[in-house]
Amino acid sequence: MSDDYRKLGLKVGLEVHQQLNTKHKLFCQCPTELDEKVGNSLERYLKPVMSELGEIDVAAYFEWEKGKKFVYDVPLNSSCLVECDEEPPHPMNLEAIMIGLAITIALHGNPVDEVLVMRKTVIDGSNTSGFQRTAIVGLGGYLDDVEGRISIQTIAIEEDAARKIEELKDTVRYNLDRLGIPLIEISTGPDISSPEQAKRVALEIGQMLRLTGKVKRGLGTIRQDLNVSISGGVKTEIKGVQDLDLIPKIIENEAKRQRSLLEIREALRSRLDKETFLENFMFKELTDLFRETKSRVILSELNRGGQVIGIKAPGFAGILGKEVMPGRRFGTEVSDYVKSLAGLGGIFHSDELPNYGITETEISKVRETLGIHERDAFILIVGQREKLEKAVSVIRDRLAHAFEGVPKETRAANEDGTSKFMRPQPGSARMYPETDIPSIRITTDLLREAETIAPPTPEEKLDSLLKLGLNEELAKQVLNSPRLELFEKLVTKFGQKVPPTLIASTLENTLKYVKSQGGDINRVTDSVIEKILEEVYEGRISKDSIPSILLDYCSPGENRNLREIIVKYTQLSDDELLAIISAVVKESEQELRVKGEKAFGIVMGRVMDKVRGRAEGRRVAELIRRVLKEKSG
Amino acid sequence: MLEGYRGKALELLEKIGAEVGDVVEIVKNGLTVRGLLMPSYSKDDSILVVKLDNGYNAGFSIENATLRLISKGKSRIHPVTSEEKRRSEVKIISTGGTIASRVEYETGAVRPALSTEEILMFAPEIKEIAEVSAEILFSILSENMRPEYWIKIIQSVVSAFKEGNSGIVIAHGTDTMSFTASALAFALKKLPGPVVMVGSQRSSDRPSSDSTINLISSILLAKHGEFAEVAVAMHGESSDSHVLAHRGVKVRKMHTSRRDAFQSINDIPLAKVFWREKRIKMLRTDFIKRSDEVEASPKFEEKVFLLKFYPGLRPEIVDYLVSSGVRGIIVEGTGLGHTSDQFVDVFRRAEKEGVFVGMTSQCLFGRVNMNVYTTGRLLQQAGVTPLEDMLPEVALVKLMWVLAHETDLAEVRRLMQSNLVGEINLRHTIDLFPRWKYE
């Protein structure tokens, strides 16, 4: 497998973005928490501007052309005028810079001497300002992976974007709570050579970040972007991979796509050259051919005053239907461009027809009118006039690019491991200085402080876990767990009386058990676990009752009250236990006399049935022995 | 050129012959960095600012580093195209401020960006609204504005109307925009059309800038506005929904940074502009109508003073002001228009010296009334003139203009109390005071 990818010349670089768990946001004093409680909203428009080098960023321009309106929900608890873009940013959060420096040190990189905040143009509305503030804190460094050393290019601290709530036709709605939460971005060099290695490196970086104890956890707090290329292909940026397990599949699919696009290029070049294609490319309005059509899509557009345009794609017969990724054909790629760049619903092409209610007869008429020869393909588009004009030029450009190979684009990861066109790749023109924020000199004092919070290596950490008395398996589980930080906090708090092994197995095994029993463990917040362990610490409940309490708490349906459940499992006092034991002994008096030696086992079984979770077995046994002894004695 | 560099870094850069825009290479601690040398905006004189290939700038200290010049950059400085005279319906006079400038990072300089071409490139929609022409009058930060510049602006406005424009837009920094608006309002005695002052609170070099929307709206107002007054056109709320045209003598910047910082005080705005629909909605009918002529009298007396009263302010300050040659003082008094009664004597002496003393309120909202309390009456007897609901700054600019045209104290007093261009509102309805919203 890995050898195949080496032959293909697969090169992958990773960009890992992880939210930091700082006290405040990066450029204001708001807490770094999400907040659903919104009262106000704002409506804004964004337009691209020239960079300091006098260029307009192509990706930015592309978003602006869509003419979207952005609506921002403004939560009062986690946003202020800075997020509303109504107040200049405050000085950069030093806590976040410190974490960036600590990671730079851990990755053997070089901290910059002065941190300069940049504005990265982003006008999809996810930043109210129209740019994301970002700053490089470290350059260079490496990470040792079993398949070889992976170089680190940059370590940056940047602000997270606003949280998208919904996307309508001409409006996108965001919540401002997430905007401004500090992110660390670690970019590796294109040194990863197999899909599996990419996943492993992502895991390793993720673990290192967790070991700082200063990162957020949970869905959406870590995101991976992938830069993928093969020999002859082009570095393609795939954004927004949240599930690590998907990384290998996405890379495999992208490699396949680039290989297919190169094959398509060769197939086309053997038929005709780009100039001939462009000379013979033509389109015609075919609305009249479809007046009586059975195709519902076409009919409904025609009823709204739309038109049908037929496009001749010289030399493309069979190409549009060629699969480039599982379930995605070259025609899908073209269709994606049309959707995003021209705002049209999609295309019909000759390799997929007849279908969608379009008949053989209609196809023949189209072929005849457009003069389609055996080697040619045709594309039908339907919609409003302005959009159709735009679509024709988008299609011409995309098809023409097929003669060159893989276009430079940013793609969005789909949940099935494929990806789709998102926008043209942004250039460095999108960066210009954030003049509102003074630069920060990285002094030796700052660096010394950063060293103290630099994460230990996984080996060092594992050692310290073993020293707490965890066995190797459990220690490794904790090391790789997102709850590592919680574990350490709980050990510090309760470790005196609650064995670390119990805390670890509660976090790592008990929760899994509860989930396997159908419990909804999403209910189990950190504070729930903390509360339960506190009860153990105080001696009010037995450690054996933890699984039962969690199961009760997570049982589907009714919303259970933790306090009430705990009361149910509160430890019985010796007097209460003795009363229960005496009652059992009395009930079974006859039987016990007969059983002699086996009497103890019977009583133990029956008593435990009654008190399980509310008394330690060892103590129950002791008391039973005492009762039986008194009886016989 | 090596903008922003000083000391050690400057010395080293000069030695290797590097300039801003050149590609340089820094080797340090085994790390090699190549990039474009950028102007320095660092406090530390050992820092080089370099733009990396990925667009990021980062600072590197020259300590323990070796620096090499790799290649000379192309000059990226865009020449300012000279403006040919052209016929237009709306003239845009740019005076500086965020709306009219962009930072040129190659040189570090702020340069005016409002040539006609640039305006149209910046907001192509404008072509559909009006034929525009632009004049870059000067490029100064709003806080450096002075009465002598007001005179230049007024002269420019007059000639722009004489050239046949139907309205004028003045791009101006927001900090002192309402002072300039007042100066123009008093000095432009007859106007054939609107003079719309416009600014922006977010610089035009960012995608979220309010400048385009404000500019489009001001051009709409200048061309189609029915009023012949000086107005200030800025965002009506934090959202990009609409722009408000405030009467220039009734408006104040009430927030340091919000888009809707400008608010009409003791007044309602002249008009609301729905920029997307290109529609103007007049909010009142008592505006000054367009006339056929343009007439201006741009003279201002600068020997005036704006005195804010506070507990503990010593009365001798007034004696000092009088002896320094001041011809008029606007007092920003407390509440209904008071200072402590210790000021009665010094104000009386000022009046004897022929110095005008006028009273406004630091409450901003509401009108002064110096009859309600004894101190107010005593101050009036000492010669202090109550100035109704005029904003302190408006009263000050008005006094500058009045004193430049009148020497007789009684006449000065009469003019200061007359409503010349809408600066005094004698009727305050219940809806003129904002209610701050909170739960």
Contacts of A128 in chain B (CB under 8 A): 208
Residue B372 pLDDT = 93
Backbone φ, ψ for residue A162 (5° rounding): -65, 155
The CATH architecture annotation of domain B7-71 reads Roll (2.30)
Is the CB of A438 less than 8 angstroms away from the CB of B43? yes
- Strands (E) across A112-255 are located at 114-115, 118-121, 131-139, 142-145, 148-159, 163-167, 171-175, 182-188, 222-229, 236-241
Residue B108 pLDDT = 44
Q: Is position B360 annotated as part of the catalytic site?
A: no
Is the CB of A44 less than 8 angstroms away from the CB of B240? yes
Question: What would the two tokens of residue A83 be?
Answer: 């997020």
CB nearest to B207's CB, from A123, A140, A435: A123
Average pLDDT over residues A382-397: 89
CA geometry: angle A76, A78, A84, nearest 5 deg: 70
Q: Is position B374 annotated as part of the catalytic site?
A: no
Indicate whether A103 pLDDT > 50.
Answer: yes
Yes or no: say if A621 and A604 are a contact pair by the CB < 8 Å rule. Answer: yes
Residue B186 pLDDT = 98
Is the CB of B105 less than 8 angstroms away from the CB of A431? no
- What pLDDT band is residue A51 in, cutting at 50, 70 and 90? low
Is the CB of B207 less than 8 angstroms away from the CB of A47? yes
Q: Is position B180 annotated as part of the catalytic site?
A: no
* B147: alpha, beta or left? (left if phi > 0; alpha if psi -120 to 50): alpha
Rg (CA), chain A: 32
Give yes or no for A119 touching B (CB within 8 A). yes
Question: What would the two tokens of residue A549 be?
Answer: 């309490």
Pairing mode of beta strands B66-71, B23-28 = antiparallel
CATH T-level topology, domain B82-296: Rossmann fold (3.40.50)
- What pLDDT band is residue A343 in, cutting at 50, 70 and 90? confident
Indicate whether B262 pLDDT > 90.
Answer: yes
Whether the bond into A354 is cis, omega within 30 of 0? yes
Question: What would the two tokens of residue A247 be?
Answer: 């990384």
Q: Is position B175 annotated as part of the catalytic site?
A: yes
Separation of alpha carbons B220 and B230, rounded Å: 14
Q: What is the CA A356 to chain-centroid distance, rounded?
A: 35
CB nearest to B56's CB, from A49, A81, A431: A431
Give the nearest chain B residue to A125 (CA atoms). Answer: B208
Kindly report the nearest CA distance between residue B241 and chain A, in angstroms: 7
- Give the least confident one: A366-375, A381-390, B163-172, B183-192: A381-390
Tell me A456's DSSP state.
P
Segment B81-91, tens digit of pLDDT: 444 556 899 99
Give yes or no for A444 touching B (CB within 8 A). no
Quote ipTM for the complex. 0.87
Segment A106-126, tens digit of pLDDT: 999 999 999 999 998 887 899
Q: Mutation target for B interface from A38, A46, A47, A155: give the one with most B CBs within 10 A.
A: A47
Instruction: Kindly give, in sequence order, each residue whose CB lies less than 8 Å from that of residue A169, ignoring residues fewer than 6 positions away.
Output: none
- What pLDDT band is residue B107 in, cutting at 50, 70 and 90? very low
Q: What is the CATH number of domain B304-416?
A: 3.40.50.40
Is the CB of B207 less than 8 angstroms away from the CB of A130? yes
Yes or no: say if A430 and A60 are a contact pair by the CB < 8 Å rule. Answer: yes
Tell me B267's DSSP state.
S
CATH class of the A268-408 domain in this structure: alpha beta
Q: What is the CA A453 to chain-centroid distance, rounded?
A: 26
Pairing mode of beta strands A131-139, A148-159 = antiparallel
**Catalytic hit among B91, B95, B98, B267:** B98
CB nearest to A139's CB, from B31, B43, B257: B31
Give the nearest chain B residue to A44 (CA atoms). Answer: B240
Q: Average model confidence (pLDDT) for chain A? A: 89
Yes or no: say if B255 and B367 are a contact pair by the CB < 8 Å rule. Answer: no
Segment B285-322, tens digit of pLDDT: 999 999 889 999 999 999 999 999 999 999 999 999 99
Tell me A417's DSSP state.
S
Query: Residues A453-460: contacts with CB within 8 Å, 24+ apart?
Result: A453/A98, A453/A99, A453/A102, A453/A212, A453/A214, A454/A102, A454/A103, A454/A105, A454/A106, A454/A212, A455/A102, A455/A103, A455/A106, A455/A208, A455/A209, A455/A211, A455/A212, A455/A213, A456/A211, A457/A106, A458/A207, A458/A208, A458/A211
Is the CB of A85 less than 8 angstroms away from the CB of B106? no
Three-state secondary structure call for residue A405: coil
Q: Please report, as a single letter, which amino acid is at residue B146.
A: R
Give yes or no for A188 touching B (CB within 8 A). no
Query: Residues A524-532: contacts with CB within 8 Å, 24+ apart?
Result: A524/A550, A524/A553, A524/A554, A526/A486, A528/A553, A528/A562, A529/A486, A529/A490, A530/A490, A530/A493, A531/A562, A531/A566, A532/A506, A532/A562, A532/A566
The Cα-based distances of A369 to A283, A288, A460 in angstroms read 10, 11, 74
Contacts of A134 in chain B (CB under 8 A): 56
Average pLDDT over residues A493-511: 92
Is the CB of A114 less than 8 angstroms away from the CB of B58? yes
Average pLDDT over residues A376-388: 90
Indicate whether A2 pLDDT > 50.
Answer: yes
**Catalytic hit among B116, B174, B339, B375:** B174
Residue B82 pLDDT = 47
CA geometry: angle A109, A113, A117, nearest 5 deg: 100
Yes or no: say if A251 and A226 are a contact pair by the CB < 8 Å rule. Answer: yes
Give yes or no for A352 touching B (CB within 8 A). no
Residue A54 pLDDT = 52
Separation of alpha carbons A417 and A424, rounded Å: 20
Residue A215 pLDDT = 92
User: What percent of chain B lies above the pLDDT cut of 90?
Assistant: 68
Tell me, yes or no, if the pTM score tops 0.80. Answer: yes
Segment A414-473, tens digit of pLDDT: 999 999 998 877 666 677 888 888 889 999 999 999 999 888 888 899 999 999 999 999
- Strands (E) across A393-445 are located at 409-413, 419-424, 431-433, 440-441
- Give the least confident one: A312-316, B74-78, B259-263: B74-78
Kindly report the nearest CA distance between residue B33 and chain A, in angstroms: 9
Is the CB of B57 less than 8 angstroms away from the CB of A441? no
Average pLDDT over residues A555-584: 82
Average pLDDT over residues B96-103: 68
Indicate whether B80 pLDDT > 60.
Answer: no
Is the CB of B240 less than 8 angstroms away from the CB of A43? yes
Average pLDDT over residues B231-258: 96
- Asked if domains B7-71 and B304-416 share a fold, the reply is no
Interface size A-B, in CB pairs within 8 Å, comes to: 136
Indicate whether B175 pLDDT > 80.
Answer: yes
CATH class of the A574-632 domain in this structure: mainly alpha
Contacts of A121 in chain B (CB under 8 A): 207
Segment B128-165, tens digit of pLDDT: 899 999 888 888 888 899 999 999 999 999 999 999 99
Helix or strand run (H / E) with residue B325: none
Kindly report the nearest CA distance between residue B238 and chain A, in angstroms: 7
Give yes or no for A420 touching B (CB within 8 A). no
Higher pLDDT, B36 or B104: B36
Instruction: Indicate the domain borders of chain A.
Output: 13-229, 268-408, 456-568, 574-632
Is the CB of B31 less than 8 angstroms away from the CB of A140? yes
Indicate whether A591 pLDDT > 90.
Answer: no
Is the CB of A432 less than 8 angstroms away from the CB of B52? no
Indicate whether A555 pLDDT > 90.
Answer: no
Give yes or no for A587 touching B (CB within 8 A). no
Residue B330 pLDDT = 98
Spell out the alpha helix ranges (H) of A374-523.
385-401, 444-453, 458-467, 472-479, 484-494, 500-505, 511-516
Helix or strand run (H / E) with residue A41: strand A38-44
Question: What would the two tokens of residue B197 be?
Answer: 């002052």
Segment B361-400, tens digit of pLDDT: 999 999 999 999 999 999 999 999 999 999 999 999 999 9
Separation of alpha carbons A9 and B84, rounded Å: 58
Q: Average model confidence (pLDDT) for chain B? A: 90
Instruction: Indicate the domain borders of chain B.
Output: 7-71, 82-296, 304-416
CB nearest to A54's CB, from B42, B56, B78: B78
Yes or no: say if A435 and A69 are a contact pair by the CB < 8 Å rule. Answer: no
DSSP per residue, A532-570: HHHHHHTTSB-GGGHHHHHHHHH-SSS---HHHHHHHTB
Residue B106 pLDDT = 46
**Catalytic hit among B175, B240, B260, B319:** B175
Q: Mutation target for A interface from B74, B125, B174, B206: give the one with most A CBs within 10 A.
A: B206
Is the CB of B103 less than 8 angstroms away from the CB of A52? yes
Is the CB of B44 less than 8 angstroms away from the CB of A441? yes
